[in-house]
């Protein structure tokens, strides 16, 4: 059971480039989210999804797009990378919204934009 898998683990981009951060889970979880973590800022929600075909914006969505065509996959697209998007990105999933189900996190993608 792989859990939540994120790829790549590390990435360096030039300003203006685009790329997709991949996230896949094999636990049949309905809920999936993307967070970024910056020093002194904690974890901030970028986009989230409550099921296939349904996505919504979080706290810091600008510059990012998501889609959820399957239950398993929730890719995050950076449209035109900026140095302000240098961060650690975490994908997480949860069985459902209700109750005391916590989220399981992937191991993260460390992105540097130069």
Partner 1 sequence: RKEVEQDPGPFNVPEGATVAFNCTYSNSASQSFFWYRQDCRKEPKLLMSVYSSGNEDGRFTAQLNRASQYISLLIRDSKLSDSATYLCVVKNGPNAGGTSYGKLTFGQGTILTVHP
| CB 108, min distance to partner 1, A | 5
How many residues are recorded in the chain?
Answer: 114
| CB 79, min distance to partner 1, A | 22
Q: Which is nearer to partner 1, 14 or 98 (CB)?
A: 98
Residues that bind partner 1 (CB under 8 A): 31, 33, 35, 40-45, 48, 50, 54, 56, 58, 90, 92, 94, 96-108
User: Would you list the DSSP string of the chain?
Assistant: ---EEEE-SEEEE-TT--EEEEEEESS--SEEEEEEEETTTEEEEEEEEEETTEEEE-SS-TTEEE--SSSSB--EEESS--GGG-EEEEEEEES-SSTT--PEEP--EEEEE-
Q: Which is nearer to partner 1, 17 or 67 (CB)?
A: 67
Q: Which is nearer to partner 1, 69 or 80 (CB)?
A: 69
| CB 46, min distance to partner 1, A | 12
| CB 16, min distance to partner 1, A | 28
């Amino acid at each position: 059971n792989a859990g939540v898998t994120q790829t790549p683990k590390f990435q360096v981009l030039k300003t203006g480039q685009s790329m997709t951060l991949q996230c896949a889970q094999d636990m049949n979880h309905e809920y999936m989210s993307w967070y970024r973590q910056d020093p002194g800022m904690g974890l901030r929600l970028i986009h989230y999804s409550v099921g296939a075909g349904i996505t919504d914006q979080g706290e810091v969505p600008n510059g990012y797009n998501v889609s959820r065509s399957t239950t398993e996959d929730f890719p995050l697209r950076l449209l035109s990378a900026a140095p302000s998007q240098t961060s650690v990105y975490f994908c997480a999933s949860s069985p459902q919204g209700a109750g005391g189900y916590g989220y399981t996190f992937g191991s993260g993608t460390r992105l540097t934009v130069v």
